[in-house]
Amino acid sequence: MDAFVYKGDAVRGEQWRALFAEEAPDIDFRLWPETGDPAEVRWLASWQAPSELIAEFPNLEALFSLGAGVDQFNLVQLPEQVSLVRLVDPGIIAGIVEYAIFAVLALHRDIPRYLQDQREGVWRERKLTPAAERRVGVLGLGELGRAVLEALGPFGFKLHGWSRSAKTLDGVECFCGEGGLDALLARADILVCLLPLTPDTRGIINREAFAKLPAGARLVNLGRGGHVVQDDLLAALDEGRVSAAVLDVASPEPLPPGHPFYSDPRIILTPHIAAMTHPQSAARVVIANLRRAQAGLPFEGLVPLDRGY
C-alpha cells in the first residue's frame, strides 16, 4: 500500500485523516510522528521539512507544501528523486482575494487615516478619489495575483500587473521582467505584492522602489515579509512617499514586541492570516494530486527547483 505522511498540528491532522478515510481509503494515511515503516512512505505533506525529516523516508517521491509558497524549504538540500509540490488550493485563493479586496478598498478609502481621526476624536472629511482615478499595481501574476486582479475588476480601478514572463490579461496592463518593474511602480497608487520569495524578489520593495512610486502611494504586502525592506518602508512613510500600508506578513514572524509596525497608525498589521490552509479544501487538492501521480500524470503545482517558486 502507498503510504502518505501528514506532518502538521494534531487537530488538523485528524481532519486530514478523516478526509483520507472517506475519499482515499486505498491510501495508507499516517499522522506524524506515527509514520510506521518509513520505507513505505511515498509522499509527505508538511509546512516545513528539514533535511533530517526527509532523510527518514528513503523512498520518498514527493513533498507537498501545506501552503502556496515554498520559500520555507531548503530547495538545495532536497534529494534528486523528491518532487516539490506547492498547494494550488481554491481555499487559499479565496482567502487571499477576500483580504486583498479588504486591503485595497481600505487604502483607497483612506481608512487608516479615518481610524486615526476616530481615536483622536476628530470628525473630518477627506477628498474622495473615484476608483476610476486610482491605479492598482499587482506584483506577481500567478494563481493569486490573477485572481485578485479579476476580483478588483468590477470596482473600476485602473489595473496593472507585473510578472517574470510576459502575460496578457483582460482589463490589465501587464509588464514583465526587470525592465518592466519601473513602469509598474510608476503606475501603482496602490501596490499589492503577491510575489513568491526567491533570491530575485527578496528586498524588492526597498528605498529605490518606494522612490519610483507615485507620491503618497499605498502598499499591501501579501507575499512574504522578506519582500519589503522594513526600515525603508518606515522611512518612506515618514517622507510621505508612502501614505499607508496593510501588511499581512513581516520579517521575522512573529514581529518582536515593541516593533514600530505594531503602533504605527499608518500601518494595518495582521499576523499572516490572509489565507489559511483549511483541511477540507487542502486535503482534497492533495488527494487529487496523488491520483494524478497514480495515473502517471505530472503533479499540479510542481515546483521547478531551478526557478524556486
Residues 6+ apart with CB under 8 A from 162: 137, 138, 139, 140, 141, 174, 175, 176, 180, 181, 184
Asked if 64 contacts 16 with a C-beta cutoff of 8 angstroms, the reply is no
Q: Would you say 8 or 112 has its CB closer to ligand GLV?
A: 8
Nearest-10 crossing angle of helices 111-119, 90-108: 60
Q: CA distances (Å), 67 to each of 20, 24, 73, 89, 211, in order? A: 19, 21, 11, 9, 32
Taking the alpha carbons at both ends of the chain, their separation in whole angstroms is: 31
- Residues noted as catalytic: 224, 272
Contact partners, residue 64, CB within 8 Å, separation at least 6: 43, 44, 45, 46, 85, 87, 286, 289
Could you tell me how many residues of this chain bind ligand NAP (CB under 6 A)? 31
Interface residue with ligand NAP, options 42, 108, 135, 164 (CB under 6 A): 164
Q: Pick the closer one to ligand NAP by CB: 239 or 253.
A: 253
> In the stretch 5-44, what mask flags binding to ligand NAP with x, by CB under 6 A?
----------------------------------------
Among 38, 142, 203, 225, binds ligand NAP (CB under 6 A): 142
Task: Decide: is 249 part of the binding site for ligand NAP (CB under 6 A).
Answer: yes
**Dist. CA 227–CA 289, nearest whole Å:** 30
Binding to ligand NAP by residue 277, rule CB under 6 A?
Answer: no
Give the nearest distance from C-beta 75 to ligand NAP in angstroms. Answer: 13
The span of 12-20, 141-149, 252-260, 279-287 binding ligand NAP (CB under 6 A) equals 141-149
Binding footprint of ligand NAP on the chain (CB under 6 A): 67-69, 92, 96, 140-145, 162-165, 194-198, 200-201, 222-224, 248-249, 272, 274-275, 309
